[in-house]
Structure 1
């Protein structure tokens, strides 16, 4: 028996682990450039709480509530618990499975009544000769890490979505104020046109045009109010509340939050570390690579050790006077299965190649997102410069046109044209300023901001 135990110990210690040992692909193999095509500051920056750069306490509070109460994040957390338990189950394969049993029997006969007691235990243990179990644990651990990163990627997306809706709500408030001012000007123009008609200075065409302009200005307001309500409803749902619960609080007019002028995007290779979705794809690649070893180990023999021990007696005191037991070792090897196991190995190798392609695609998509966000930010700032000039000119033109119309020096058509340009310039400038904030939100999301990029995946089990 001792010799048998020694042989098993040596076999276990000399066991090899089949399959490739995973190494993360180097950035150079992923076509990661050395710098961004769009110019940006290159210093690294902590983006874990980027929304604080907008200096808006309400926005900061709402994002904190979303991080704690969002229901999609709750679903993601439950998936993480499932992944942790899968890791527990995989680790259980390394230790023996032990069971126990006991029974009491009573036989009744002519002068032969007696009670029988028996207890026993049995155990089975698979010796991981070729690393099938160890590779399974490696795959389950990588899966759990991938799920953890998926949850953090969802947190990044929810944070950016809430900030986007918040900016859009504030922009809508500003556009509503402008629309009401435009309506007041249109009503004033209508009154002037009616006065001039009563004085016989113009025809009824001017009043009809003024009525149409006034109605068009008024028609803009309900659509903007609907947009504001929709943004507040979405913010409420993102924070785990019913739609409408935040409408009154957000109804207090505040300006569009403005972010910092400069954002340090770092170098493109930083994206591999900062983006949780990229990290998730890399961990999925690691899990797929480990499963090649699982599939390969199934082609080799399996060694299992089993045993039992038991005793029986006619009294409790005599249970341990005679104990018997057996121990068995068995080897199994698939000789013919129609190519099923080798097909599973090839299938897993193909799955790993697909996971590698997915990882590479996630990196390229991340780089694209950053470049698009930088381009959008630069474009919004360039538009602001031109729209500020356009607004100044349109405002001066509108003042002159109103004076000339009052004096009868210009037609109502010309006044409407000038004021239409003023409305467009005011709305365009407000939108371009909000576009800058939205582009900043897009950039922070593209860079992977909104979570702690230095945190290790939390795959601790609940046991």
Structure 2
């Protein structure tokens, strides 16, 4: 074989092999998601622009108190912190895989000092000498069968999956805080209504008792009035328990329980602005907006890349 052809082949063949990959190309599984019974999103409102799909959807309630509670929960929750730590670890791994595809260089050096006695040559003294040695080397690993490329793709998929997991944790935590905050307001309103209802029944009982004493009302009405009071008292007690449990749930989400309490403002639910309606869209669009589903698919992408 011609030496020039042999030299070209020795370079071209590894480069061609580097463009090949043993890992199969990822193909998203086909899912039959029917749209029957689902309202399609308006043409002017794509899925990524729907209300609630953007960050800070809870701010539509216009409550600085709720904004502060969500920020506090995101900062204090250990699950959110753990998810962020996993993302940082995956980002470091991905960065390392990127460096593996670049040429590497090493530079080293040594310094040697020696002392020679020249008395044998009639010179009554010693001579010190210093020798410097510097060495440099460079290396580049040819990515045969795209092994490094597939490893990098798997690391990138792991990073994106970790980011999707973190988004899912933060999204779920935010929804839990908003739900707990609204639940406290709802139960507090029910408690106030129950207290007013109890006061009304107690007043009615006194009036019926006075009329029974005067002989103008039968005893059955007194018994009925007392039953109404007892039922109102039981309902109010249950609402008080539910309200206390709702407060504890919010305190747990904020990391304050049992050392701290949460004070929810006096604004009633009826006074909060009504958030804009979110079009349901197609089932496939709902799946694409779910970070947990995205994380699962990205892990499948990474597993496919690691096959090679």
The alignment's TM-score, normalised by the length of structure 1, stands at 0.52
Which residue of the partner structure matches residue 85 of structure 1?
92
Select the residue among 48, 71, 94 that pairs with 1:65: 71
1:160 aligns with 2:178: no
Which residue of the partner structure matches residue 25 of structure 2?
21
User: Contact 1:105–1:117 at 8 Å: present in 2 too?
Assistant: yes
Give the deviation of 1:209 after TM superposition: 6.9
Q: Which runs of 5 or more residues in structure 2 are unaligned? A: 119-125
Give the deviation of 1:83 after TM superposition: 1.1
| Aligned-partner Cα distance in 1 for 2:240–2:6 | 82
Which residue of the partner structure matches residue 268 of structure 2?
254
| Aligned-partner Cα distance in 2 for 1:95–1:266 | 45
| Aligned-partner Cα distance in 1 for 2:260–2:7 | 69
Select the residue among 157, 162, 171 that pairs with 1:142: 157
Give the deviation of 1:267 after TM superposition: 1.7
Change (3 A) 1:215 1:279: same
- SS state of the match for residue 269, structure 2? coil
1:32 aligns with 2:36: no
| Aligned-partner Cα distance in 2 for 1:90–1:120 | 27
Change (3 A) 1:247 1:223: farther
| Aligned-partner Cα distance in 1 for 2:148–2:225 | 81
Change (3 A) 1:214 1:272: closer
Give the deviation of 1:169 after TM superposition: 1.3
- SS state of the match for residue 135, structure 2? strand
Which residue of the partner structure matches residue 106 of structure 2?
99
The alignment's TM-score, normalised by the length of structure 2, stands at 0.75
Which residue of the partner structure matches residue 282 of structure 2?
267
Select the residue among 280, 285, 292 that pairs with 1:277: 292
Give the deviation of 1:40 after TM superposition: 3.3
Give the deviation of 1:20 after TM superposition: 0.6
Which residue of the partner structure matches residue 74 of structure 1?
81
User: Contact 2:52–2:278 at 8 Å: present in 1 too?
Assistant: no
Which residue of the partner structure matches residue 385 of structure 1?
none
Greater relative contact order, per chain length (Cα 8 Å cut-off, separation 6+):
2
User: Contact 1:17–1:130 at 8 Å: present in 2 too?
Assistant: yes
- Structure 1 stretch displaced more, 177-186 or 189-198: 189-198
Give the deviation of 1:94 after TM superposition: 1.2
Select the residue among 22, 36, 52 that pairs with 1:47: 52
User: Contact 2:41–2:282 at 8 Å: present in 1 too?
Assistant: yes
Q: Which runs of 5 or more residues in structure 1 are unaligned? A: 294-463
1:300-331 Cα distance to aligned partner (Å, 9 max, x none) = xxxxxxxxxxxxxxxxxxxxxxxxxxxxxxxx
| Aligned-partner Cα distance in 2 for 1:67–1:192 | 51
- SS state of the match for residue 119, structure 1? strand
Select the residue among 167, 187, 190 that pairs with 1:175: 190
| Aligned-partner Cα distance in 2 for 1:59–1:4 | 75
